[in-house]
Amino acid sequence: MSGQIIFQNGKSGEGDIRQPLPCPIPKICVDIFAKLIKFHSDIETLGFCCNNRSLLSPPYTKTLGIKKYFGSVVYNDALDKLCLKFNYTNNEGQIYLFREHQFRRFFTQMFFWGGFGDMEALRQFLGHSNYRHLFHYITDTVSGDTINSVKAEVLAEITRRGDLTYLPLARLIEKKFGTSNIRVIQEAELRPYLNYLISRNQITTNPVFSMSSNNESFTIITAVKHA
């Protein structure tokens, strides 16, 4: 059975007043929250729990009790412990540690790929009233280089599929690499080339928003500037 988690939407209301934002969650999250509530209750029964704590506030590691605040330091420490739990390493034996900006890049990827699908779930979960606000929220927190690399990634995949609507871009790639079969071009060569074209404004990829009587939609439009 699925459930809902209700946030106080930071992008709504006025002053300290926030609109509740219900978001659907799967059963596994419902079970996790139920265990957290029981854990807090058991700790409180033992007299080791402070008031005004967050549901996600972690326990102290060197003493009994639960931390009262759940700020960025505690958040990053929890991410580190999660990464250490799974212990994913690269070829040099280094452990992958995630940070918030990496999740922001993920949202950027979802948005540009969503131009060819449905972004309604992401829009609702992040608490935005429309796609335009969602786009500005995502891009305002991500560097231009990151956005360009995501665009290059998306365009590389689309052109490799042979989408005829991207024929002008395909011809530009053919001129550079000397082949009309884009599939044979190594991705390690194609993506940097597309990134270069984007950085030089020779190709632009941006969302175009439109409104109808019932809803809002957007489409990712790519334009090629001929030399």
Do residues 118 and 199 share a domain?
Answer: yes
Do residues 108 and 205 share a domain?
Answer: yes
Do residues 123 and 27 share a domain?
Answer: no
pLDDT of residue 50: 64
User: Residue type at 153?
Assistant: E
pLDDT of residue 89: 80
pLDDT of residue 15: 66
pLDDT of residue 211: 79
Residues in the chain: 227
The H or E element spanning position 83 is: helix 72-86
Domain containing 76: what range? 68-98
Whether 112 maps to a domain, the answer reads yes
pLDDT of residue 163: 81
Structurally, the chain folds into a number of domains equal to: 3
CA distance 12 to 215: 20
Do residues 73 and 52 share a domain?
Answer: no
Do residues 121 and 180 share a domain?
Answer: yes
Please list the ranges in the chain whose pLDDT falls under 70.
1, 10-16, 49-52, 101, 104-105, 113-118, 227
Do residues 2 and 87 share a domain?
Answer: no
Nearest CA-CA partner of 36 in 26, 24, 46, 44: 44
